[in-house]
């Protein structure tokens, strides 16, 4: 049993001093100059404390110095150290290199402490080839790959070490473009999916859905959407696993992070951009099916910018089908769905109450806010 641990030592460093993220060496130096504390090793430390009682049952593989080794030794572990030998400030490439080497070293589970930027680097390096779980330690936590608490991450790893099988779910890696974020505009992108262990029993509440039940719920939503399809209409599926369930039920391919177009069970276009979408809907009616992206409930303007204001205006509000698992709605804690299409007038039109399909013949009326 081998557990990998990568700490992004500068994750979250920007937040404390109001720099909106920590990407880029210049920002990090600026943050340190402003007196920022690096807290990610403290967060990872909580996870390590949870793992301490089982430390003899597994091998901890970590990266040098502040990327894991220091924290591991502080907490009484004798880790195997691999990866880049950097000290002090680290770069995104250091994270990627460490993750790649751990993958080559055939670890069974990779823990990383950081935020969305770190999640993105891990995704770039390992994709879905190894189970990954994030220890929340960054400024931006939009991705769905993080445990709810550093201790929760340790508990999942501990139960795995105790011989429990990991139940995996493909979970979204989302990141803001920090340069534009600092300049006041928000551009997020859905970068891909990591294979994240389901947060079971002690970690999330007991009846959190298992992958089997979640699949059944998605399939029920898909059945409802497919039942309402009409001949001659195009179906535009936004990114994500919930929309993919529709394609699965139809038996057609779907890109996980792209926007795809179908007519009934026929694929019209995969990974279509705005121009392609406008071309297709020029003289054919269409339904747009999207589910909220990430934890903040954005339905347009995050991760699906291909469905542009022009596309939305042409298709019309009444032809937008929102779909979501109930758990995802509840995770919003009462906050409305958000739209940020880049066209304030259109956002105003989309705002209000919209039906959201949450199961077969089950809908929720949910608020959308511009």
Partner 1 sequence: MKAVAPKPSPRRFHQASWDEPVIFELSQPGARGVLLPEVEEAIELEVGDVSSHLPVSLKRKNLPVLPEMAQLHVLRHYARLSQENLGVDLNIDIGQGTCTMKYSPKVNDQLARSPKMADLHPLQDESTVQGMLEIMWKLEQFLKEISGMERFSLQPGAGSAAIYANVAMVRAYHESRGEGKQRDEVITTIFSHPSNAACAKTAGYKVITLYPDADGYPDLEALKAAVSERTAALFITNPEDTGIFNDRIQDFVKTVHAVGGLCVYDQANANGILGITRARDAGFDLCHFNLHKTFSTPHGSGGPAAGACGVAPALVPFLPTPTIEFDGERYRLEFNLPQSVGKTRPWYGVAQNILKAYAWIMSLGADGLKEVAEIAVLNNNYLLKKVLEIHGVSMPYSKGRHRIEQVRYSWEEMYRETGVHSEEMETRVADFGTHFWTSHHPYVVPEPMTLEPTESYSQADLDEYVAILKQVAHEAYTDPEIIHSAPHNSTVHQANHEPFDNPEEWAVTWRAYKRKTK
Nearer to partner 1, 282 or 365 (CB): 365
Least distance from C-beta 308 to partner 1, angstroms? 26
For 276, the enclosing helix (H) or strand (E) is helix 274-281
Least distance from C-beta 7 to partner 1, angstroms? 19
Category of 342 on φ-ψ map: left (φ > 0), alpha (ψ -120 to 50) or beta: left
Candidates 1, 267, 364, 370; binder of partner 1 (CB under 8 A) is 364
Least distance from C-beta 349 to partner 1, angstroms? 15
Q: Is residue 104 a contact point for partner 1 (CB under 8 A)?
A: no
Q: Is residue 295 a contact point for partner 1 (CB under 8 A)?
A: no
Nearer to partner 1, 86 or 358 (CB): 358
Candidates 73, 78, 202, 266; binder of partner 1 (CB under 8 A) is 202
> What values do phi and psi take at 188, rounded to 5?
-110, 160
Longest dimension (CA), the chain: 67
**Does residue 102 contact residue 125 with C-beta atoms inside 8 Å?**
no
Contacts with partner 1 by CB under 8 A: the residue count is: 33
List, as one string, the DSSP characters of 109-171. EEEEEE-HHHHHHHHHHHTTSS-EEEEE-SS---STTB-SSHHHHHHHHHHHHTTPPPPEEEE
In the numeric block, which tokens belong to residue 324? 């979501």
Q: Find the part of the chain contacting partner 1 (CB under 8 A) among 66-74, 143-151, 261-269, 285-293.
A: 143-151
Beta bridge partners of 355: 365
Q: Find the part of the chain contacting partner 1 (CB under 8 A) among 20-28, 102-110, 198-206, 341-349.
A: 198-206
Euclidean distance between CA atoms 357 and 362, whole angstroms: 6
Q: Is residue 207 a contact point for partner 1 (CB under 8 A)?
A: yes
Nearer to partner 1, 221 or 272 (CB): 221
Least distance from C-beta 80 to partner 1, angstroms? 28
Q: Is residue 163 a contact point for partner 1 (CB under 8 A)?
A: no
Least distance from C-beta 272 to partner 1, angstroms? 31
**Does residue 188 contact residue 177 with C-beta atoms inside 8 Å?**
yes
Euclidean distance between CA atoms 294 and 256, whole angstroms: 14
* Residue 338 DSSP label: E
Q: Is residue 37 a contact point for partner 1 (CB under 8 A)?
A: no
Least distance from C-beta 46 to partner 1, angstroms? 8
- Residues near partner 1 (CB under 8 A) are 148-149, 151-152, 167, 200-202, 205-207, 209-210, 212-213, 326-327, 329-330, 333-334, 352-355, 358, 361-367
């Amino acid at each position: 049993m081998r557990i990998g641990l990568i700490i992004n030592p500068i994750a979250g460093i920007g937040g404390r001093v109001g720099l909106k993220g920590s990407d880029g060496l210049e920002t990090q130096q600026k943050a340190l100059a402003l007196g920022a504390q690096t807290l990610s090793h403290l967060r990872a430390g909580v996870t390590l404390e949870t793992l301490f009682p089982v430390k003899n049952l597994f091998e901890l593989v970590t990266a040098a110095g502040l990327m894991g080794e220091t924290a591991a030794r502080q907490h009484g572990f004798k880790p195997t150290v691999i990866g880049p030998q950097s000290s002090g400030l680290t770069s995104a490439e250091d994270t990627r290199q460490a993750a790649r080497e751990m993958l080559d070293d055939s670890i069974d589970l990779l823990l990383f402490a950081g935020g969305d930027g770190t999640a993105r680097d891990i995704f770039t390096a390992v994709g879905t080839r190894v189970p990954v779980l994030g220890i929340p330690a960054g400024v931006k936590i939009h991705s769905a790959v993080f445990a709810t608490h550093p201790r929760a991450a340790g508990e999942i790893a501990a139960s795995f070490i105790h011989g429990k099988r990991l139940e995996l779910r493909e979970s979204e890696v989302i990141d803001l473009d920090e340069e534009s974020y600092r300049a006041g505009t928000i551009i997020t992108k859905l970068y891909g999916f990591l294979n994240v262990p389901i947060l079971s029993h002690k970690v999330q509440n007991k009846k959190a859905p298992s992958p089997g039940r979640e699949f059944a719920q998605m399939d029920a939503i898909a059945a409802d959407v497919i039942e309402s399809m009409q001949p001659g209409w195009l179906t535009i599926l936004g990114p994500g696993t919930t929309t993919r369930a529709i394609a699965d039920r139809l038996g057609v391919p779907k890109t996980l992070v792209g926007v795809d177009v179908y007519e009934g069970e026929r694929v019209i276009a995969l990974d279509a951009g705005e121009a392609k979408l406008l071309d297709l809907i020029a003289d054919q009616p269409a339904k747009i099916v999207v589910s909220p992206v990430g934890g903040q409930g954005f339905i347009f303007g995050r991760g699906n910018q291909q469905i542009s204001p022009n596309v939305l205006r042409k298709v019309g509000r009444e032809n937008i089908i929102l779909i979501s698992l109930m758990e995802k709605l509840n995770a919003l804690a009462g906050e409305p769905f958000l739209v940020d299409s880049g066209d304030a007038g259109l956002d105003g039109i989309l705002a209000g109450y919209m039906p959201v399909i949450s199961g077969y013949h089950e809908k929720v009326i949910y608020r959308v806010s511009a």
